[in-house]
Each structure stands twice: as structure tokens, then as C-alpha cells.
Structure 1
Amino acid sequence: MIRRRDRGLAGGQVVPRTLGLSAIFFVLLHPAALLGVAWTVGTVTTSQTLEGATPGAWITGVIGCLALAFWPSNSTTYLRTRVVCFVLSEGLLLGGVVTHGESILPGIAIQLSFAAFSTTIGALAVLSTARVRSTSQLNRVALVAVTAYLVFVLHNLGFAGMGLPIQAAWGAGSQILLGIPIGLLLGLLLVPLASCALVRRVARADLVHFDDVEPTHPWRAAQGIIATIIWPWGDAPRKLLRRGLVRSG
């Protein structure tokens, strides 16, 4: 008898399973991010400027993410464990780089993180229905982007009302360009870029229509969706590197 965990998935189950795993990974990301924040501010001497913040958390996260992202793609050994470790490394990276970034360029890193998280929330919510996924790519990107902008506004409203020593809501503290804080401007520009990447990643998972899909396929696809938070491009770093080597050769 074949155990349930070893059975293949039907094509119609792939995207719901992928989005469900992505939601779980998104939740799992947050404790790791909080650990990254705590690690980074552990040596802070001035809370308002984050003076003395250490880069150890995001450096460790980068090493973990790169090591796991460039793991041979055809290897399925301990794949689920590797994906979970990647998510935790990404959370550590995010918490560290945002906190350390705010100590160097105030108002920018936090807005980029708000935009990335908001777009992920928007994509998981909007693309969870088959009716939306059956529309044109332009419509899907527009719906994800609009939802992401609403969540982005809520992020800033909530952050402004928390009374923290760091006042970086709406990009405050960053340089002004055309009357708009650069941090806020970059966050607004990141939303459509990340929306396109997320729509493309979900569409790739949705291309699987045949039965008996490999059970680990949704795990790989969910990892790609979560990786979009730090890499808002459609292709993985390994594919871009391979493409560059082919062109140069």
C-alpha cells in the first residue's frame, strides 16, 4: 500500500496547496524576523537613531539563503527541511537588514519591507480564488497591486500609531524627491514590480494540469513565492546566473 505522503497530487490541487504552504511560510517568517531585529538592536546605544546596530543577523541570513537557494535543484533529499530552513534564514535576513538599514538610511528599508510584505499578503489573498487566476495577467497584477497598496497604507498607519522611538512611517527621515520621501516613493514603486513577479510565480505553478504531480512541487513553488519578498524578480538567482553565463559563453 502506498502511503498518503508519497502519493502524487492532482493538477488542480497544486495551486491551492502552494498558496496554503506560502501562507504558513509567511507566518513562520515573522518570528525569525523578530529574532533578526532583536539580534541587530542588541548592541544599540541610542534607540532613536539605532546607533551601534550590528549587521550579524542579516549577514547570517544571507549566507543561509544563498547556501539553500543554490542547492542543486534536482535534489529532493530533505527538501521540506531545506525549504523551512530557507524561510527561517530569509526571516533573519529581513529583520536584520531592515533594522540595520534604518540605522544607515532612515525611512527607506522599513518602507521597502512594508511594500514587500503587503504585496505578498495581497497576492495570497487575491490569487486564492480560481476565478481570479483565470483572468488575464494584467488583471491579476492590477488586483494584487491594488490590494497591496491598501495593506501598505494600513502598515504605515499602524506603525505611525505605535509610538516607537523610530518615526519612519510614510518614509519619514529619508531624503525628499519631488515632495515625496524617497523611502515612500521606493515602496510605492516596489509594489507593481513584486506584483508582477508573484503573479508569474503562481501562474507557473498553475501550468501543472496533469495528475500524479510530485508531492514536493508545491513546496518548491511556495519557496519561490516567499523568496519574492527579498527577490522581486520573476526568475530565481540561479537561473539568472546560468543565463548570464550562457550569454557570456
Structure 2
Amino acid sequence: MALNNPAFSRDAAFSSRGGIAVANQVSNQQLNDMYNQESAPASGDVMTVEDTIAKTVGAFALLVVGAGLSWMLVPAFPLLWIGAGLIGFVLALVNIFKKQPSGALVLTYAAFEGLFVGGISRVFENAYGGVVSQAVIATVVVVGVTLALFASGKIRASKKATKVFMIAMIGYVVFSLVNFVMMITGATDNAFGLRSETIFGIPFGLILGVLVVIMAAYSLVLDFDFIQRGANNRAPRAFGWKGAFGIMVTVIWLYLELLRMFAISRD
């Protein structure tokens, strides 16, 4: 099966061979081993699509509340969103590398990311009026279309596509780091660094943005695939939080890239 979204850790519960195969004949030792194994989760303690959706909606509701609060507080506390973004980044790493998903950690991440997203959105709105509403609408459209295509079976994760996605992701991360260093060191004085450079009259940030939107859409496919396989293989219910976290990371990434694209187009 294809590799999962980078926000997801690998777990046997999501493998196509995750179940226990019982041979026609077993020895006494095998019977003892099977008896001593941890029993399968009860029906109410397994991951389901519906429960994961509920967790995702709850996490996004908290994010929206945090975003609204930050939007109002930015004039009085202009650096609030930067601090929240740093904390959110640390919490994201904790959630990624934590073996057992934690609902409390995911919700805490959602709260701080909400403060970050609301704050940076206010900054962009002040500089480029109207870009926030454009980015929100575009994000909803991309997520909705991707979900519809996945639900209809018209798009699925594959090994080849995921390898291309991972290579592109590494390239994007390296470029972003180089661009960030150039901006803070003064190597470039453009508002968006190398993204403001033009190719045949088109800002590089717009060309890159289109590719990133496609990458984010495929990342959503990996998110949906993770949730579907987890539910089919009766993974522990707590892994629904892993699914909610993965979708949240992807959607925030998509929104921020669209926000930047619309701002670059104004320049």
C-alpha cells in the first residue's frame, strides 16, 4: 500500500495483513500464545469513519475559535500569532512521533494553530484586503472536490504516485528553508523572497503554488486512505485522532499556500 501522510506513523493495525491468520491445525503452544495475546478491541472501541469525522469536526471547531480570538487580539498583541505558531510546530512534531495518539494533544495543537492561522490571516488581510475570503473559499473547494473524487473511487493512493509526492515534498521543504534563510539574512529583499521572482512575467510563487495545491490535494487522499484502512482493519478508536490530526495539518498547509498565492498575485 502507498505510504501514508507524513503526519501518520506506521502501525500494524493499518496493514493489509494486520489480522491474525489461524491455521487449520495448531499446536498447544500456539493455542497458549493465542490465548495470552491481547484481545481485540470491542466494537465500541474501534476506529470508524463516523467517529473520525466527529473528532475532525471538533478539532476544526476549536481551531476556528482560536483563529477568531487571534484575529481580534492581533492589533493589541501583534506577536501573539508568531509565538502560537512556534508552539503549534512543536506540538505537531510531538503528535507525529508519538506512538499512541492523544486526543488532548491533538486538540491543544488545534487551539494553538488556530491562534497562528487567525493572526497571520489578519496580517495578510491588512496588507492585501480580501485575500482571506479568497483563500478560505479556495480551500473549501479543493477539499470538497478531493473528498468527492475519493468517495466516488475516481482517485486513489498508489505506490508510484506517493513516491513522486514524497520526492516533491522533500524538494518543497528544502526550497522553503533556503528561501526563509535568504529572507531573514537579507539576501533577497522581495516580500516573498524567491517566490516573488518572475519567470516569463509570472511570479514563481504562483507556479510553485499550483504545484503545492496539487501536492496538498494528494496528501488529503492519503489522509482519507489512512482513515478508510484504519476503519476496515478495526484499528483502536484512538487512531481516529491520528486521522483528524493528519487532515488538519494538510488543510492548514493548503490554506496558507493559497493565502500566499493570492497575496503574490496582488503584488
* 1:137-148 matches, cutoff 5 A: 137=157
- Which deviates further from its counterpart, 116-125 or 175-184? 175-184
- Unmatched segments (≥5 aa) in structure 2: 1-40, 162-195, 255-267
Q: Name 2:64's counterpart in structure 1.
A: 30
Q: Name 2:76's counterpart in structure 1.
A: 42
Q: 1:84 pairs with 107, 110, 120, which one?
A: 107
Q: 1:192 pairs with 210, 214, 217, which one?
A: 214
User: How many aligned positions are there?
Assistant: 175
Report % sequence identity: 24
| Equivalent residue letter for 1:198 | L
Alignment partners' CA distance in 2, 1:59 and 1:115: 27
The verdict on how the C-alpha distance between 1:62 and 1:7 changes in structure 2, with shifts beyond 3 A counting, is same
Q: Name 2:185's counterpart in structure 1.
A: none
TM-score, normalised on structure 2?
0.51
Q: Name 1:8's counterpart in structure 2.
A: 45
Q: 2:84 pairs with 48, 53, 60, which one?
A: 60
CA contact (8 A) 2:59 2:106 kept: no
Q: Name 2:99's counterpart in structure 1.
A: 74
The verdict on how the C-alpha distance between 1:114 and 1:92 changes in structure 2, with shifts beyond 3 A counting, is farther
How far did 1:195 drift?
Answer: 0.9
TM-score, normalised on structure 1?
0.54
| Equivalent residue letter for 1:36 | S
| Equivalent residue letter for 2:74 | T
Root-mean-square deviation (Å): 3.9
Q: Name 1:99's counterpart in structure 2.
A: 122
CA contact (8 A) 2:149 2:155 kept: no
Alignment partners' CA distance in 2, 1:6 and 1:69: 31
How far did 1:215 drift?
Answer: 1.1
Q: What secondary structure sits across from 2:84 in the alignment?
A: helix
CA contact (8 A) 2:45 2:237 kept: yes
The verdict on how the C-alpha distance between 1:31 and 1:125 changes in structure 2, with shifts beyond 3 A counting, is farther
CA contact (8 A) 2:71 2:122 kept: yes
Alignment partners' CA distance in 1, 2:146 and 2:223: 10
- Unmatched segments (≥5 aa) in structure 1: 44-53, 142-174, 233-249
Alignment partners' CA distance in 1, 2:48 and 2:222: 15
- State the structure with more CA Rg: 2
